[in-house]
């Protein structure tokens, strides 16, 4: 499951990893919360919606964008609130959570860590063989995060296995 966290628009996606770099889209959507609703109610809406997605699709893992300061501290704080709710939903279901910076996702998907939204949407549409681009951009971003994780997961697993082997004294 890929998540592009946000308080007003939170992108959600579910993909199926195939052999090699093959990834199949399963579902993509957006959780929207109105800005005129109080923060606790907005967070509750996100919690309920992402919980339903997790219960319906039963992902093995959750990948999401890592929050970073973009120049607007208020936006970062609101996004961080949403991230807390999303991580908690995963933890309640014993799902591992992996976080990726926007530049890591951009580099994995487009080969360019500074790719713009248009390039990213075009690439994810092509990679997944979609007939049309996912909209809004938060949905495309959620798919990109999921694909990024699918492509990085084998290396992550090998690294963890090597770490465990080293701790047991096996080279």
Q: Write down the residue that tokens 């976080």 correspond to.
A: 99
Given a cut of 80, whether residue 4 has pLDDT beyond it is yes
Catalytic annotation on 138? yes
- Of the candidates 52, 65, 69, 92, the residue annotated as catalytic is 65
What CATH number should be reported for the domain holding residue 162? 3.30.420.10
- Matching residue, tokens 């509750």: 44
Could you say which of 69, 104, 138, 160 is catalytic?
A: 138
The annotation status of 138 as a binding-site residue, yes or no, is: yes
| pLDDT tens per residue across span 44-59 | 999 999 999 999 999 9
Which residues are CB-contacts of 52 (< 8 A; sequence separation ≥ 6)?
A: none
CB count, 10 Å around CB of 167?
8
Tell me the three state secondary structure of residue 16: strand
* Catalytic residue, candidates 4, 56, 94, 160: 4
What domain range is 93 assigned to? 2-167
Tokens of 54: 């997790």
Instruction: Confirm whether 65 is a catalytic residue.
Output: yes
Give tens-digit pLDDT for 92-107.
999 999 999 999 999 9
Please give the model's pTM, rounded to 2 decimal places.
0.91
Residue 60 catalytic? no
Omega cis (within 30) before 7 = no
pLDDT confidence of residue 157: 73
Counting the structural domains of the chain, the total is: 1
94 known ligand binder:
no
Confidence at 70, pLDDT banded by 50, 70, 90: low
The b-or-e profile of 40-73 (16+ CB within 10 A means b, else e) is eebbebbbebbbebbeeeebebbbbbebeeeeee
The reply, when asked if residue 65 is annotated as ligand binding, is yes
């Amino acid at each position: 499951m890929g998540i592009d966290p946000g308080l007003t628009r939170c992108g959600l996606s579910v993909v199926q990893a195939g052999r090699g770099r093959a990834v199949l889209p399963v579902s993509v959507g957006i959780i929207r919360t109105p800005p005129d609703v109080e923060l606790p109610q907005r967070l509750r809406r996100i919690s309920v919606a992402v919980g339903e997605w997790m219960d319906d699709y039963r992902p093995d893992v959750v990948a999401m964008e890592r929050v970073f300061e973009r120049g607007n501290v208020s936006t970062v704080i609101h996004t961080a609130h949403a991230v807390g709710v999303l991580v908690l939903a995963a933890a309640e279901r014993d799902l591992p959570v992996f976080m990726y910076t926007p530049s890591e996702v951009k580099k994995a998907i487009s080969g360019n860590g500074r790719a713009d939204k248009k390039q990213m949407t075009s690439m994810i549409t092509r990679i997944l063989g979609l007939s049309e681009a996912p909209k809004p951009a938060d949905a495309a971003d959620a798919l990109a995060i999921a694909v990024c994780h699918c492509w990085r997961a084998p290396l992550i697993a090998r690294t963890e296995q090597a770490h465990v082997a080293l701790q047991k004294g096996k080279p």
